[in-house]
Amino acid sequence: MFTPAVLAQISVDGIGLSAIYILIALGFTLLFGIMRVVNFAHGAFAMLGGYALYFLYGNMGLPYLVAAPVAALAVATVALILERIVYRFFYQKMFQSMIGLLGLDMALMFTAVILWNAEERSVPPATDTLVQFGNVIFPAQKLIIAGIAAAALLAFYVFTRYSRYGLAMRAAAQDVSIAEAQGVNSTFIYKLAFFIAIFMAALAGGFYAQTYALSPFVGEPQLMIAFVVVILGGMGSIPGVALGGLLLGFANSFLGTFYGNATSVFVSFGAVILLLIFRPWGLLGAKEA
């Protein structure tokens, strides 16, 4: 029933989902925008972020506000090994990266099965407190997730707009050859962009595991989320990711509440198909000449 209280509840849920979706998709589009890598293993790193949070917070008992970023940092740091031995060979090779990184995704997923088995786990919430605004009651956990995600996104925005290395990343995304001619170390910039992308994926993966469940297979729906968001917003467009994440988050919250998850998924992918037909460069993407 469409009442103000229900719509307010949907809005709160939509904000929480949008924050997770934007974080997941931002790392995906960052790798594509700068290195032209289609990272089919992106969801696997989000899954590893969920396990890292599970062990640091759920098992070791670190404070949540410490465990969440430390878990993401740990995954991103270890992932630098894969950047050196795998990803570096796929930079600026879009189609080759699709096949190679699909294999890496499968390897990471089934390594997780071997290490932790396939059973689902639950990551405990940061708090069981309920917050009430008028007739709307929702878990404070959603506000915490949205707050941390917003802080990460704000830090990323400030970094790319005002820092030396952030500006170098933007220059490399425009034209890496010209950027190198101006003194930009593309090898270091690629490594830095990779680290940031995996950090955001792992951070979002921890939030996703708390919202739903944790298993070695949760990376696949997160990869699909990243695809839907970047296609909606425009491949390689960071403002497009923000718009796409908001649209998908609120749409899933509304449709899932009133019509069920099946309808939500159907509408999401139907919108993607229509967009690919009539505006394949996305809502805020740049049309290729």
pLDDT tier, 39 (very low <50, low <70, confident <90, very high otherwise): very high
Residue with tokens 């790193």: 45
| Contacts with 19 (C-beta within 8 Å, 6 or more apart), sequence order | 145, 146, 149, 150, 207, 245, 249
CA distance 259 to 162: 44
Q: What is the pLDDT of residue 117?
A: 93
- Concatenated DSSP letters of 187-242: HHHHHHHHHHHHHHHHHHHHHHHHHS-B-TTTHHHHHHHHHHHHHHH-TT-HHHHH
With beta carbons less than 8 A apart as the criterion, state whether 6 and 135 touch.
no
Most confident of 43-57, 139-153, 208-222, 267-281: 43-57
| pLDDT at residue 286 is higher than 80 | no
Given a cut of 60, whether residue 289 has pLDDT beyond it is no
More confident residue, 97 or 289: 97
Q: Flag the least confident range among 121-125, 156-160, 237-241.
A: 237-241
Cα–Cα nearest to 71, from 52, 55, 58, 54: 52
Residue 161 in tokens: 């707009």
Residue written as token pair 């500006």: 167
Task: Read off the pLDDT of residues 266-284 as tens digits, 9 standing for 90 and up.
Answer: 888 888 888 888 888 888 8
Locate tokens 């949008």: which residue?
18
Phi, psi (degrees; rounded to nearest 5) at 16: -65, -45
Specify the pLDDT at position 125: 87
Greatest mean pLDDT among 22-26, 108-112, 145-149 lies in 108-112
1-31 pLDDT tens trace: 667 777 877 888 888 889 899 999 999 999 9
- pLDDT at residue 188, as a whole number: 94
Residue 87 has pLDDT above 80, yes or no: yes
For residue 43, pLDDT over 90 is answered with yes
- Which whole number is the average pLDDT over 92-120? 94
Helix (H) or strand (E) holding 148: helix 140-162
Q: What is the dihedral of CA 147, 173, 38, 187, to 10 degrees?
A: -100
- The domain segmentation of the chain, as residue ranges, is 16-221
> Is 90 exceeded by the pLDDT of residue 139?
no
Q: Averaged over 229-235, what is the pLDDT? A: 86
What's the mean pLDDT in 199-213?
93
pTM of the model: 0.92
Tokens of 212: 């739903």
Which residues, listed in sequence order, are joined to residue 131 by a DSSP beta bridge? Answer: 138
pLDDT at 287 over 80: no
How far is 21 from 221, CA to CA, in rounded Å? 11
**pLDDT tens figures, 66-78:** 999 999 999 999 9
Cα–Cα dist 28/245, whole Å: 13
